[in-house]
Amino acid sequence: MSKFNIPIARTSLSDEEISSVLEPLKSGWLVQGPLVEDFQNKWSKFTGSKNSIAVTSCTSALHLSLASLGFKEGDEAIVPAFTWISTANVVEHLGGRVEFCDIDLDTFNIDINKIEEKITHKTKAILPVHLFGLSADMDPILEIAKKYNLWVVEDAACGFGSFYKGKHVGTLGDTGCFSFHPRKAITTGEGGMITTHSDSIASKLRCLRDHGAELSDLQRHLGPRPYLLSNHPEAGYNQRMTDIQAALGSMQMNRADEIIKERKSIAKIYDEEFKNLSFLQIPKESEGYSHGYQSYPCLFMPDEVKENNIDETNSKRNKWMEKLALEGISTRPATHAVHMLEYYSKKYGIKPEDFPNSHAANNCSISFPLFHGLKIDEQSYVIEKVLEFKN
């Protein structure tokens, strides 16, 4: 048995947060009611977005965003090849074609110099991802989008507490999509939020998440004729958040600053200890960026990462991960390269080396435990074991 057993992430909710879910259970209003309203208001205030629309997950947020903008069968969307699979899946769900774009290995985010060459007359949207809490380089992305008249749907699943030139991520494009999965900084179990400055996109989103209804149940119940059903101008979806989830989310928003501060301070301790290690590239936080540290993704590079040694480095990394696991420390690849997953590699006939940086990130990245409530002695133990690595 090892001294510790440290997971990659651990949910830590206060007693007050846990008991907050009893309120809707006792009131009897369970789905998209006053507590969803409350959570959305706090989200708008915190991010500086004009509108926030709570949904069932970030995946449904991305899906509804594209649907609300009018993305349809045959349209193309540009998606970084290194991201969680759902950024690409939502394009498929709407009958579109995914155009993968390689990433920058320094940031794990979309390589802004490779976007323009992916644009065709069918391209309708760019989906930049603020991976692991670091904003994508949004100014050039917004410039390209303007030049070619493309929508920008930000995948800000990991973006809570992440800022780009002073603005919260998710407020820069047409819409921003957040996740409340337990691996993210704020959790409602499953859950998501869409932010948008546009009132017309917002009302389309509200309609689409609620079976295409003109009025929500709450609006109807509080309105003059609660006994009549709403009109349905759209064939919508059911992507409503429950008030049980919203109670949890809303309570966590009361300590939003504290949660972000703690994640940053854990990351800074790792930075200090790991910055001079030749075998690890630590997360970057350049001028103008404020990292939210959804996780702490590094590039493992006992040798310089080159196309011809990616597989060798991969087996060294996996051996090291196994050793750390035996010592009670959970690590993970930062995420996966979507173009290497079976569905996409088969359907589009793509090879790993077609997107070399995403391939390298898939095979050579490693994330270390970082979560609210990680104890000092736990982090010291992780650091001690990482420093013991020998090539």
Would you call 154 helix, strand, or coil by DSSP?
strand
Tell me how far, at minimum, the Cβ of 362 lies from ligand PLP, in Å. Answer: 14
Choice between 313 and 331, CB closer to ligand PLP: 331
Nearest CA-CA partner of 248 in 95, 23, 88: 23
Please state, in angstroms and rounded to a whole number, the distance separating the CA atoms of residues 218 and 34.
Answer: 8
Give, as one character, the DSSP assignment of residue 357. Answer: H
Nearest distance from C-beta of residue 361 to ligand PLP, angstroms? 13
Is 51 or 367 the residue whose CB approaches ligand PLP more closely? 367
Ordered strands of the 51-55 beta sheet: 51-55, 192-196, 175-179, 151-155, 123-126, 76-80, 97-101
Compute CA distances 374 → 9, 136, 250, 294, 324, whole Å.
9, 27, 22, 13, 17
**Do the Cβ atoms of 98 and 356 come closer than 8 Å?**
no
Least distance CB 384 / ligand PLP (angstroms): 29
Tell me which residue of 118, 162, 113, 81 sits closest to 361, measured CA to CA. 81
Amino acid at residue number 175: T
Closest CB to ligand PLP among residues 49, 313: 49
d(CA 52, CA 255) in angstroms, rounded, equals: 19
Q: Which residue's CB is nearer to ligand PLP, number 131 or number 134?
A: 131
* Residue 116, both tokens: 């323009």
Task: Give just the sign of the alpha carbon dihedral 155, 160, 163, 169.
Answer: positive
Helix (H, G, I), strand (E, B) or coil at 89: helix
List contacts with ligand PLP (CB under 6 A): 57-59, 83-84, 86-87, 129, 131, 155, 157-158, 179, 181, 192
Q: Which is nearer to ligand PLP, 184 or 359 (CB)?
A: 184
∠ CA 183-51-238, rounded to 5°? 65
Compute the least distance from the CB of residue 380 to ligand PLP, in Å.
Answer: 28
Q: Go through the chain and tell me how many residues it has.
A: 391
Provide, rounded to whole angstroms, the least separation between the CB of residue 124 and ligand PLP: 19
CA atoms of 372 and 264, how far apart (whole Å): 10
CB of 93 to ligand PLP, least distance (A): 12
Between residues 127 and 202, which has the closer beta carbon with respect to ligand PLP? 127
Shorter beta-carbon distance to ligand PLP: residue 114 or 183 = 183
Least spacing, CB of residue 51 vs ligand PLP, in Å: 19
Nearer to ligand PLP, 175 or 179 (CB): 179
56: closest CA among 64, 44, 68, 45? Answer: 64
CA-atom Rg of the chain in angstroms: 21
- Least distance (Å) between residue 23 CB and ligand PLP: 24
Q: Shortest distance, CB of residue 278 to ligand PLP, whole angstroms? A: 29
Kindly tell me which of 108 and 320 has the beta carbon lying closer to ligand PLP: 108
In the bound state with ligand PLP, the residue whose beta carbon lies nearer, of 104 and 155, is 155
Angstrom distance (rounded) from CA 182 to CA 249: 11
Least separation in angstroms between residue 390's CB and ligand PLP is 32
Alpha helices in the chain (DSSP H): 15-20, 22-27, 34-47, 58-69, 86-93, 138-148, 199-209, 217-222, 243-253, 256-274, 310-326, 342-348, 356-364, 376-387
